[in-house]
Amino acid sequence: MANVRAYLVLSAFAAGAALIPGAALAVPSADNGKAAFVKHGCWQCHGFEGQGSTETSAGRVLYDTKLPLEAFKAYVRDPSGAMPPYHAEILSDSDLADIYAYLESLPKPKPASEIPLLKQSSAAGESR
């Protein structure tokens, strides 16, 4: 009987332990991401809004990145150009996912066709 009880206790423990990795997969937080973007100095080259600059990010714009999350993470871990690499010991996977969520949460520009002034000037350009 004692063995059965020990088994039940152990299996309940194992079931609980199995839930812990699930807890680590918390929904990414744009607020944490903003803090991590600042803390890790991404803003120094990419700008606070991920708007980038020709001087410091080779014109790369992050707020509107076309990279899917996995490719985004892979680039930050092992960049190919002037950007310094950020290894997992410095920047955790969850902070990186939060940074991505922050960038995704930033407002995106409208297409030129939805901006009246640009629509006008492109129409004017066409009539020339």
Question: How many positions of this chain bind ligand HEC (CB under 6 A)?
Answer: 25
User: What is the separation, in whole angstroms, between the first and last Cα of the chain?
Assistant: 93
> Are 46 and 60 spatial neighbours (Cβ–Cβ below 8 Å)?
yes
Residue 70: CB minimum distance to ligand HEC, A: 11
Residue 24 phi, psi dihedral angles, 5° rounding: -70, -20
* Cα gap 74→44, rounded to integer Å: 20
CA distances to 7, 68, 93 from 37, rounded to whole Å, are 46, 18, 13
116 lies in the binding site for ligand HEC (CB under 6 A)? no
Question: Contact with ligand HEC (CB under 6 A): which of 6, 10, 26, 58?
Answer: 58
Nearest C-alpha neighbor of 40 from the set 67, 69, 70, 62: 62
Binding part of the chain for ligand HEC, among 7-15, 23-31, 60-68, 114-122 by CB under 6 A, reads 60-68
**Residue number with CB closer to ligand HEC (85 or 121):** 85
| Residue 32 in contact with ligand HEC, rule: CB under 6 A | no
Query: Minimum Å distance from CB 89 to ligand HEC?
Result: 13
Positions in the binding site for ligand HEC (CB under 6 A): 40-42, 44-46, 56-58, 60, 62, 65, 67, 72, 75-76, 79-84, 86, 91, 99
